[in-house]
Amino acid sequence: MKKCFDAEKYLKIQKKKINQRIKMFDKLYLEFGGKLIDDQHAARTLPGFLPDLKIRLLQELKDNAEVILCVNANAIEKSKIRADHMISYDTEVLRLIQFLRSKGITVNSVVITLFDGQKKAEDFAKKLKDYKITPYFHKFTKGYPTDVDTIVSDEGYGANPYIETTKPLVVVSAPGPCSGKLATSLSQLYHESKRGVNAGYAKFETFPVWSLPLKHPVNIAYEAATADLADKNMIDYFHLEKYGIPAVNYNRDLETFPVLKEILTRITGKTIYYSPTDMGVNVIGECITDDRAVQKAAKDEIVRRYYRALVDLKKGSVTEDVPERIKLLMNELGINETDRIVAECADMKREKSGNLPSACIQVGKKYVVGRKTGYLSPISSTMLNALKVITKIPDEVDLIAPAVLEPILEIKNKTSNFKESYLKLGEVLIALSICSTTNPMAKKAVESIDKLAGSEFHCTHMIPDDELVILSNLGINATCGIEIDVG
């Protein structure tokens, strides 16, 4: 995919924008929306946006910044999973702590929000101490969302413990939505105000992009990504009324803004923001270099979201209105699932293979297919075929000899309760790596795996979670059908 977003320009002007906002206050609490690291949605929708670009931004600001992480106690109790990595929210918090520290970014503390005695949340708090992180417990804010007098009082935000911070920028982030970032930020503002500190609040959301049209595919891709939350983009009527400038925001921010504005005014004693857009500091719209290419990338992402929603529906993790909602968005843009060429090619391979589970990956301008074999899953065989194409290794050459694969499959089935007739992607990549020590062609293939990043991939059958995570970690945009391969 052609790059159509200027990451370096973004870093430069985004840093400037945040610094300008910091200068308005003694201390700024900046709510970071979306994923702090591994923001694959932004990378797919805006080719050129790096998945860890927000971390690079924080590194630019790290001398004056520290991070507070939030996690919902109910998410911990229910073992809520971050879908792209298949890890729980509390595990993701620990991963964030380690990653941020490795980049020299200070992690102040972790706030466990909406705490009401959940046992798993208490256990997680104990685990945080092993990481030398102070855990804080915040309960539901009394009076929220309508009783502002109670909210902005010692019974409301004042009931939460105060978190000591020392730097002018405090980034408040979380592993997922509904984690209590806003409540944590406002609670801190209340305590800072009582201490005579001129503290402020701002919001750093990647999407929707306020300066793009309401129906721009990038903004519609955000609606598709949050279809399970029923988010809907809208014109910020507060901004339009105050400034006469159309700006895009989403329904939840618009619905809560009057209360949020009143809370901020009560805490700070002045009105700073007149619209949800005023609170934002994002400059993404200024860094798009090829709008046509961005629109194409966003449309592709919407189709991928539709396929994933169908899988989630099959798994029972969403209701049928989620894929229906995305389908309506596709209809608005005049796109459909048949626009995903890798899916069409995978289906054709399946038909030619006697209905065997099949897959397709786009390598440059070529569409490389594979099917389930005697030793390999359809994902494994397709990936090996793709590596042959990239390295120009003849198709008839076995990168991994059957004599190597057979004993691996045999020992796997001896040590597993669930018998399988094939090896999955992770197992095959390990076997390929071992073969690369003696086989020059296997070595060449291993060294070329990174070249598959950004490729489109589709499997006719549901991709197991462990293989899906590997594809995601390789930067491959994978989708699949909803049938289950029974082995």
Question: Is 302 a domain residue?
Answer: no
Q: What are phi and psi of 57, to 5 degrees?
A: -65, -45
Q: Do 108 and 216 have their domain in common? A: yes
| Full residue range of the structural domain in which residue 38 is found | 7-287
Per the domain annotation, does 299 fall within a domain?
no
Q: Are residues 81 and 151 in the same domain?
A: yes
Q: How far, CA to CA in Å, does 304 sit from each of 176, 313, 335, 362, 458?
A: 20, 14, 12, 14, 10
pLDDT in the model for residue 418: 62
Tell me the CA distances in angstroms from 451 to 332, 362, 475, one per residue in order: 34, 12, 10
The predicted structure's pLDDT at residue 360 = 98
DSSP string, 108-136: EEEEEES-SS-HHHHHHHHHHHHTT-EEE
Inside any domain, residue 359: yes
**Domain assignment present for 154:** yes
Provide the residue type at 264 as one letter. L
Burial class from Cβ neighbours inside 10 Å (0-12, 13-18, 19+) for residue 99 reads middle
pLDDT at 86: 73
Domain identity same for 121 and 228:
yes
Q: 244 and 369 in one domain?
A: no
Please check whether residue 173 lies inside any domain of the structure: yes
Do residues 270 and 162 share a domain?
yes
Give pLDDT < 50 ranges for the chain.
none
- CA gap 179, 342 in Å, rounded: 36
d(C-alpha 231, C-alpha 253), whole Å: 10
pLDDT on residue 411? 79
d(CA 420, CA 417): 10
**Do 281 and 395 reside in the same domain of the chain?**
no
Q: Looking at 245, 269, 287, which one is the last position of a domain?
A: 287
What does the alpha-carbon distance between residue 31 and residue 256 come to, in Å, rounded to a whole number?
15
Which of 260, 287, 314 is the last residue in one of the domains?
A: 287
- Please check whether residues 280 and 419 belong to one and the same domain: no
Q: Classify residue 380: in a domain, yes or no.
A: yes
Closest CA to 176 of 34, 349, 18, 362: 34
Amino acid letter, 121: A
Phi, psi for 31 (deg, rounded to 5): -75, 120
* pLDDT at residue 84 in the model: 63
Arithmetic mean of pLDDT over the chain = 93
**How many residues are there in the chain?**
487
Looking at the structure of the chain, the number of domains it has is 2
Inside any domain, residue 316:
no
The CATH number linked to 472 is: 3.40.140.40
Q: Mark whether 59 and 172 lie in a shared domain.
A: yes
Radius of gyration of the chain (CA): 24
Please state, in angstroms and as integers, the Cα–Cα distance from residue 95 to each residue in 38, 99, 102, 468, following that order. 12, 6, 11, 19
pLDDT of residue 37: 86
Do residue 264 and residue 354 come from a single domain? no
DSSP secondary structure string for all residues of 57-70 = HHHHHGGGEEEEEE
Same domain, 255 and 364: no
> In this structure, is residue 315 part of a structural domain?
no
pLDDT (tens digit per residue) in 235-246: 999 999 999 999
Same domain, residue pair 164 and 281: yes
pLDDT at 417: 63
Is the same domain home to 362 and 430? Answer: yes
The owner of tokens 């909210």 is 151
